[in-house]
Structure 1
Amino acid sequence: MRRFYEFFAGGGMARAGLGTGWTCLLANDFDAKKGASYARNWGAEHLIVDDIRNLGPDDMPGQPDLIWGSFPCQDLSLAGMGGGLKGARSGTFWPFVHHIQSLRDENRAPAVIALENVLGTLTSHKGKDFTAICRALRDLGYRFGALVMDAALFVPQSRPRLIIVAMRNDLPLPKGVTATAPQEPWHNKALCNAYDALPKAVQKHWQWWDMPQPPQRVLRFADLVEDQPKSTKWHNKSETRTLLSMMSEVNLAKVETAKASGVRMVGTIYKRTRVEHGIKVQRAEIRFDEIAGCLRTPAGGSSRQLIMVVENDSIRSRLISTRETARLMGLPETYQLPERYNEAYHLTGDGVAVPVVRHLTKHLFEQMIPAMQGQTA
């Protein structure tokens, strides 16, 4: 049985993706509400709800084969304040590194480290933050590489994320997990540019990780929509008219095209502030491409995704339901969500898509870590 630590664990979506063949030795998150959801779904035996900075060696049992870290993205995202790895939230990457160094000093370093974050990590501080992450992994004694993985390959949600995977230098590279050059769809132009900008001494430790592409996704967003959601209500006609009034001509034309299609069409909407003729205007922007927009944490009403169902002349709208957000993250129907809407939306919108972790697990992690490796707890 392979063993893992899950830092910045949230609701345990990385754990869900790893699957039943893995044993959790430690789960950690500083958010008490997320911790409550984690405990509700996975139990609290190995859960520590506290700031990562407050953990010590005694809190980290055994020798993990894998350490997963979805460290906070706020200071690395394009919407953030630009603090980068020096920011209060994304800066928790450094205590994460310190803990791995402590494990290394005790000969308990994991075989594999996986980091997940937004694509803004590649360009934060003109690439200096990405270089710092790579250099830190090198100094810990790892070879490393990165992949860009969009959840839309697996579920109907546009959610590209950067996944950095590092493997200990003293372990043999298994066949079939590396390529000699960048490979589609895992290595896009932004990632290649970030690699090119790395110092040569850091590039020497780089690997182009490779995996097979998943089968073409057949699941549509419309397949996930609830007719009678429990977490939210359908708008009345006046509220739907107000939403339509916030659309530009281009977006209204999309609605008219959906009406004329003669079939049931489901679109997703985000409210965004646009500058038109020098004036800031809030617009409702809709897409009917069978893919939901990227779920985000709710920092206000404008950041919560809405849906619109169009069938002939019938138009209905509402907030996306929390169960729909869970489905967009690939969570099973049995996953227990918080009862409060914003708590559930925050939990799912701040997580990692389960099928992304599952694909990584099957084609990288379980190839890098033999099933019988390390049996002492």
Structure 2
Amino acid sequence: MIGDGGRMETEAINAAEFFAGIGLVRTALEPLGVKVVWANDIKQAKYEAYRANYPDAEKHFKVDDIRNVVGDQLKTLSRLELATSSFPCIDLSLAGNRRGLVGEQSGMFWQFARVLDEMSEEIRPRVVLLENVHGFATSHGGQDLTDALARLSQLGYSLDVLAIDAKHFVPQSRPRMFIVGVLPADLPNNAHVGVPVVSDVRPAWVTAIHAKNQDKIKMHYLDLPDLPVGPTDLSGVIEYGAPESLWWDQQRVKAFVDSLSDGQRLRFEALRTSDALSYRTAYRRTRQGVSMWELRRDAIAGCLRTTGGGSSKQALVELGFGREPRVRWMTPREYANLMGATEYRLIAGTPNQQLFGFGDAVVVDVVRWIGKHYLLPVLRPDNKAGN
């Protein structure tokens, strides 16, 4: 395609965004030339946040249960090449009910596969990208993942599995696994068969998945660069201009400190009396039926969660110079920053809805890294813009 001035332009990669949430997959991939032409989520509040950042969502975003989506609805999309799916993790998470793919929420994987199956081979996306928690790999002794890979293989895809912790990009520990499915005709020349060597994107438990399934399911892998070294503290994500009124009063801070275990209090005091200002995040935990606060050992955030109650929200603690400690809940802007969505506009929904949306989303930098080093080399092998 020739653009203005005779400059060669790469044709956009048309994508469908299943379980789109607030749109962070789009935020990640759009700068790489991906154009979302269809999106779906069941939550109206998430759609409102998505539309506030991408007004064209009014034309292509379907707010509905995926069980009501049929493949025919996507057949009119021009050259659909990519489908992404961040299907619910609640039944797969170690913190969830572990019902796996028979669960009401995580079982929506089968609906995603059904929609792909209803699309003819001529319009089925060339590549699919799925994201979920590490618990997917161990659910029902690993059988859920094997069944999912087999279903995608039946649809014609060759599969690869990756594991990436967001801490390589942002100051948040957020380990996630990804499945990349590629139609065989689109596998690049440098795609390998067999079991990949252990690396930071394919730790031993991932290579074991390849070894277990390679004789039953078409699988491949691509060589990928090492992950970057991520930030080691929260300095780049804190909303320093947050209202002073958000900081808790002395009585509430005292209750926070009093709830700490002996070991936690030693850590707290060491940071409070140090000659440097530091920030830590904290979660409420229930230990032997007692609600307690726990201060994170390192200086990055724990994994953000959907806000279903106080125990799922993350607090920010300011300590140092022997001063009185300060504690408050993290803000929606800080959640956005921790998800790599630093430019995301917080103009829709309540603060709690915003926290929920980010806690249920993908980290922008992680998906963009996959897009640059995996999706583009497959879908646009001659495009050097992502290098």
Partner of 1:255 in structure 2? Answer: 268
Partner of 1:154 in structure 2? Answer: 169
Q: Answer yes or no: is the 8 Å Cα contact 1:174–1:367 preserved in 2.
A: no
Partner of 1:290 in structure 2? Answer: 299
Partner of 2:63 in structure 1? Answer: 49
Please give the alpha-carbon distance, in whole angstroms, between the structure 1 residues aligned to 2:332 and 2:91.
Answer: 26
> CA 1:208/1:223 → structure 2, altered by over 3 Å: closer, same or farther?
same
Deviations 1:94-144 (A, max 9, x none): 1111111122x2511111110000000000011110001110111111110
Given candidates 224, 228, 251, the residue that maps to 1:238 is 251
Please give the alpha-carbon distance, in whole angstroms, between the structure 1 residues aligned to 2:369 and 2:347.
Answer: 24
Structure 1 residue 152 displacement after superposition:
0.3
**Aligned amino acid, residue 347 of structure 1:** G
Partner of 2:151 in structure 1? Answer: 136
> CA 1:210/1:273 → structure 2, altered by over 3 Å: closer, same or farther?
farther
Structure 1 residue 199 displacement after superposition:
7.2
Structure 1 residue 179 displacement after superposition:
8.5
Partner of 1:353 in structure 2? Answer: 363
**Aligned amino acid, residue 284 of structure 1:** W
Given candidates 218, 225, 235, the residue that maps to 1:222 is 235
Structure 1 residue 180 displacement after superposition:
5.6
SS of alignment partner, residue 147 of structure 1: strand
TM-score of the superposed pair, with normalisation by structure 1: 0.92
Q: How does 1:10-159 map to 2 (within 5 A)?
A: 10-20=21-31, 21-43=33-55, 44=57, 45-60=59-74, 61-103=77-119, 105-159=120-174
Structure having greater relative contact order (Cα 8 Å, sep ≥ 6): 1
Q: Answer yes or no: is the 8 Å Cα contact 1:152–1:158 preserved in 2.
A: yes
Please give the alpha-carbon distance, in whole angstroms, between the structure 1 residues aligned to 2:168 and 2:210.
Answer: 24
SS of alignment partner, residue 201 of structure 1: coil
**Aligned amino acid, residue 257 of structure 1:** A
Structure 1 residue 269 displacement after superposition:
0.2
Deviations 1:216-242 (A, max 9, x none): 224631331123325971001111110
Please give the alpha-carbon distance, in whole angstroms, between the structure 2 residues aligned to 1:367 and 1:178.
Answer: 17
> CA 1:16/1:71 → structure 2, altered by over 3 Å: closer, same or farther?
same
Q: How does 1:308-327 map to 2 (within 5 A)?
A: 308-314=317-323, 315-327=325-337
Please give the alpha-carbon distance, in whole angstroms, between the structure 2 residues aligned to 1:132 and 1:23.
Answer: 30
Name stretches of at least 5 consecutive residues in structure 2 with no aligned partner. Answer: 1-11
> CA 1:98/1:22 → structure 2, altered by over 3 Å: closer, same or farther?
same
Question: Does 1:175 find its partner at 2:185?
Answer: no
> CA 1:177/1:325 → structure 2, altered by over 3 Å: closer, same or farther?
farther
Please give the alpha-carbon distance, in whole angstroms, between the structure 2 residues aligned to 1:108 and 1:365.
Answer: 18
Q: Answer yes or no: is the 8 Å Cα contact 2:167–2:231 preserved in 1.
A: no
Please give the alpha-carbon distance, in whole angstroms, between the structure 1 residues aligned to 2:41 and 2:153.
Answer: 26
Question: Does 1:364 find its partner at 2:374?
Answer: yes
Partner of 2:19 in structure 1? Answer: 8
Q: Answer yes or no: is the 8 Å Cα contact 1:183–1:210 preserved in 2.
A: no
**Aligned amino acid, residue 17 of structure 1:** A
SS of alignment partner, residue 223 of structure 1: coil
Q: What percentage of residue pairs aligned between the two structures are identical?
A: 33
Q: Answer yes or no: is the 8 Å Cα contact 2:168–2:231 preserved in 1.
A: no
Please give the alpha-carbon distance, in whole angstroms, between the structure 1 residues aligned to 2:211 and 2:179.
Answer: 16
Q: Answer yes or no: is the 8 Å Cα contact 1:150–1:161 preserved in 2.
A: yes
**Structure 1 residues 254-263 or 170-179, which shifts more?**
170-179
**Aligned amino acid, residue 335 of structure 2:** T
SS of alignment partner, residue 301 of structure 2: coil
Please give the alpha-carbon distance, in whole angstroms, between the structure 2 residues aligned to 1:179 and 1:200.
Answer: 9
Please give the alpha-carbon distance, in whole angstroms, between the structure 1 residues aligned to 2:340 and 2:192.
Answer: 25
What number of residue pairs does the alignment pair up? 366
Please give the alpha-carbon distance, in whole angstroms, between the structure 2 residues aligned to 1:93 and 1:273.
Answer: 31
SS of alignment partner, residue 11 of structure 1: coil
**Aligned amino acid, residue 370 of structure 2:** L
Please give the alpha-carbon distance, in whole angstroms, between the structure 1 residues aligned to 2:250 and 2:111.
Answer: 51
Q: Answer yes or no: is the 8 Å Cα contact 2:194–2:214 preserved in 1.
A: no
**Aligned amino acid, residue 255 of structure 1:** F
**Aligned amino acid, residue 301 of structure 1:** G
Deviations 1:142-200 (A, max 9, x none): 11011101000000000000100011012242437888623310112332344444373
Q: Answer yes or no: is the 8 Å Cα contact 1:156–1:221 preserved in 2.
A: yes
Q: Answer yes or no: is the 8 Å Cα contact 1:232–1:320 preserved in 2.
A: no
Q: Answer yes or no: is the 8 Å Cα contact 2:80–2:124 preserved in 1.
A: yes
Q: Answer yes or no: is the 8 Å Cα contact 2:195–2:207 preserved in 1.
A: no
Structure 1 residue 372 displacement after superposition:
8.3
SS of alignment partner, residue 253 of structure 2: helix
Please give the alpha-carbon distance, in whole angstroms, between the structure 2 residues aligned to 1:228 and 1:206.
Answer: 49
